[in-house]
Amino acid sequence: MGEGKTRRGIIQASGLAAAGLATGGAGAPGYPPPSPLDAGGVQEGRVAFPPWRGEADPPGEPPPAPLPPGERVGFAVIGLGRISLEQVLPAFASCRLARPTALVSGSPEKAALVARQYGIRPEAVHGYAQLERLRDDPAVQAVYIALPNAMHREYTERAAAIGKHVLTEKPMATSAEDCAAMIAACAQTDVRLMVAYRCQYEQVNRAAIRAVQSGALGRLRFLQAANLQSNGPGPQWRYSRQLAGGGALPDIGLYCLNAARYLSGEEPVEVVAQAWSPPGDARFAEVEESMAFTLRFASGFLAQAQSSYGAYQEKSCRLAGERGSLLLEDAFAYRGQRLRLFRREGDAGLEQMPQLHPRNQFALELDHMARCVRESRRPHTPGEEGLRDQQIMEAIVRSAESGRPEAIPPLPSELPVRGPAPDPA
């Protein structure tokens, strides 16, 4: 029996060597050495393990292969509000290509605390007026702009002027004019510009895109999307037209609009919309509480969307085609997405729910931007994607104000709105 075990160990080790794995390791003194199945090996610069589960189980996710910290793209996080502190900075722990190396904030006390928490050098903490000091910091290659919408243009232009690549939160800005200026500023200094459309990097949304592209749903007919939440008291910057540019539409309705475009791969030609705010509610004196709109596409595809600051939370998206449909549950949430596919198989209806290894969607978008910086690639969601959504949102607002359908201007033909698809997670 001992001889048989030894022979199997030799066969397993031979298989690993044939797969290009450098095996070895004697194990801890006084204990049997680990088997090649347990120890794994090094293959093309990363640790890899051979399958240990039976064929009936899906394979496990391979171990991550992050770059050493000093080789990752360094980001200066501009603005230390909720999105930065609750989502973006924690997400760097899951990144493989990106790391935080500087902070820009209007609160010295908060910035100093956050810098200590994330191991950021005290000399890499700056106020808003000192942003240009980043020019001389080689540890910073890119910035992440997490400021109110109306501030995105100024800080994009300032970052581009000192040669730093720009990843800005959505919506890209508060006007199409500002979006175009941001694109021009980054083009002039040859820096990458990406808009943080995190859902386009999230794995379940990408699986839905692949399902559409495979033809499994057939010709698309309808999309129904809702992004609803119940907002609290003011004052909040989201209730300021000067800072936010609008209410529920640019903040959360944008997710529905963008999903209609990236899931279908088409561009709308007309919209009809309605806005509503509760009378006498001071929070909505300047911005809309709720916006509903229907987009019409040249193919006949129709997308209906609802966004609101005054309804119980809902973040779903349903897409119907001639041969099948899909449901994205929690499509626009920070986590918890689920995909259900419905189609006919033989004489019966079939429901599928793919099981995907979850990944932090903020980390995915940060790493995509880092890869674009390292490899001089055009981001998947460049400035042109943000500009297109802003043009459509302006048409939605015009329709809500006039009560009539509003034509959406065609895309310029010289440059596609999206860059190459992100690499698999």
Quote the pLDDT of residue 39: 85
Could you tell me where in the chain the CATH 3.30.360.10 domains are found? Answer: 217-358+382-407
Domain with CATH 3.40.50.720 in the chain: 69-198
Catalytic residue among 170, 262, 309, 315: 170
| Rg, Å, the chain Cα set | 25
The 3-class secondary structure across 161-198, one letter per residue, is HCCCEEEECCCCCCCHHHHHHHHHHHHHCCCCEEECCH
* Residue 315 designated active-site: no
Q: Are strands 220-230 and 317-321 parallel, antiparallel or unpaired?
A: antiparallel
Structure tokens at 21: 């794995």
**Res 19: pLDDT:** 54
d(CA 331, CA 312): 16
C-alpha–C-alpha distance, residues 398 and 400, integer Å = 5
User: What is the predicted pLDDT for the residue at 5?
Assistant: 45
DSSP letters, 53-81, are: S-TTSPPPPPPP-PPPGGGSEEEEEE--S
Residue ranges, the chain, pLDDT below 50: 1-14
Highest CATH level, class, for 69-198: alpha beta
Active-site residue flag, 255: yes
Q: Which of 144, 197, 201, 255 is catalytic?
A: 255
Q: Report the pLDDT value the prediction gives residue 425, as an integer from 0 to 100.
A: 67
Residue 414 DSSP class: S
According to the CATH classification, is domain 217-358+382-407 in 3.30.360.10?
yes
- Looking at residue 355, its pLDDT comes to 84
Per-residue pLDDT, 4: 47
